[in-house]
Structure formats: C-alpha cells, structure tokens
C-alpha cells in the first residue's frame, strides 16, 4: 500500500497504521492476513511517498472474496528544522482507510470429477455416472459434459439428470 504525504514536506514525521476487521465479508486476522495492531512508517523531510506491506497468508480453506481494512491512526513530528511547526494530521474519512480484498481462491466453487473413471453396463440397463464435488462448496454450480462414442452408438445412450 502507498501512503502519501501532502500539504508540506518539511520535517521528519512518523505515521502509525493498523489493520482492522472489515464490516463486510471479513477476512480472519492471523489466518488470512498478518494482524498489525500498531506499526509505523517514517517520512524524512522532503519524502512524499512511502510503501507499507501487509502480508496475505496462504491457507487451504476454499473461500469467497474476503476483506480487511488498513487504517492510518495518527502522525507525529519527529524533528523539524523550523521551531513551532504544527503537529502533522491524518486526513479523516476515506483517505485514512483502505479496504483490502483477498480474492477468492483455493477453488471456492469446488473441484469436480467423476466418482468412477469407468462404468460397465449390460444391455438393456440403466446406470448413473456420478459427479463428485470436493473442496469448495460456495454457490450453485452446473457442470457441462461431453459424450464421446467409442464402440457404442447414440441409440445405445440416453441422458438423465439428477
């Protein structure tokens, strides 16, 4: 994330930031991202941009999009060449908060496969070829399939859905 210093660049300042739980589709601290309760970044005189890194953690849990916030908490003047400089301030509102979205991953909608790779059916008989959904269970999904003929003809087959 980028933090910008505006409206003056004289003096060394320290900006404190933290992570926070989002109000919608909240990611879990320590499971989905590194919890930052209080950290800071320093701007030396003349520097207008600094980068901070919040680590997103890898897990094997299928999840939809999740969110967390990074908040600028406060700023302090560390040193100044001019006596009597005012205390730096953090802009209020949206400028002091950034919502981070962790994209859906780990096949949140699932991984699909046939339960069996072969099926033998005597004529005339019916049988089902089952599809298995593993991992993610988010949402309703549909699975498309194609029939490829080997020795059977289309007259030997019929399609049923369950």
Q: What are the pLDDT digits (tens) for 33-86?
A: 999 999 999 999 999 999 999 999 987 777 788 999 999 999 999 998 888 888
Nearest to residue 66, comparing CAs of 132, 110, 19, 111? 19
DSSP string for residues in the chain: -EEE--S---SEEEEEEEEEE-SSSBPPBTTTB---SSEEEEE-TT--EEE---PBPP-SS-B--EEEEEEEEEEEEEE-SSTTPPPP-PPPGGGGEEEEEEPPBS-TT-EEEES-S----PSS------EEEES---S----------SS--GGG------
pTM check: above 0.75: no
- Predicted pLDDT of residue 87: 83
Residue 159: pLDDT band (50, 70, 90) is low
Q: Please state the separation of Cα 147 from the chain's center in Å.
A: 37
pLDDT in tens, 84-119: 888 888 887 778 999 999 987 766 677 788 888 777
Nearest to residue 64, comparing CAs of 100, 101, 29? 101
Structure tokens at 32: 């989905």
Q: Which residue has the tokens 């094997």?
A: 60
Q: Give residues with Cβ within 8 angstroms of 153, minimum separation 6.
A: none
Nearest to residue 76, comparing CAs of 90, 88, 86? 88
């Amino acid at each position: 994330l980028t933090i910008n210093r505006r409206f003056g660049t004289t003096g060394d300042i320290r900006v404190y930031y933290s992570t926070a739980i989002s109000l919608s589709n909240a990611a879990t601290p320590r499971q989905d991202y590194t919890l930052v309760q209080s950290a800071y970044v320093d701007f030396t005189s003349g520097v207008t941009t600094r980068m901070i890194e919040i680590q997103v953690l890898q897990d094997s849990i299928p999840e939809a999009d999740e969110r967390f916030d990074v908040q600028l908490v406060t700023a302090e003047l560390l040193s100044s060449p001019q006596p009597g400089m005012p205390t730096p301030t953090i802009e209020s509102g949206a400028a002091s908060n950034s919502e981070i979205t962790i994209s859906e991953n780990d096949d949140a909608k699932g991984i699909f496969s046939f339960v069996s790779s072969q099926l033998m059916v005597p004529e005339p008989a019916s049988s089902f070829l089952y599809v298995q959904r593993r991992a993610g269970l988010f949402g309703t999904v549909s699975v498309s399939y194609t029939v490829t003929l080997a020795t059977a003809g289309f007259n030997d087959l019929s399609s049923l859905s369950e």
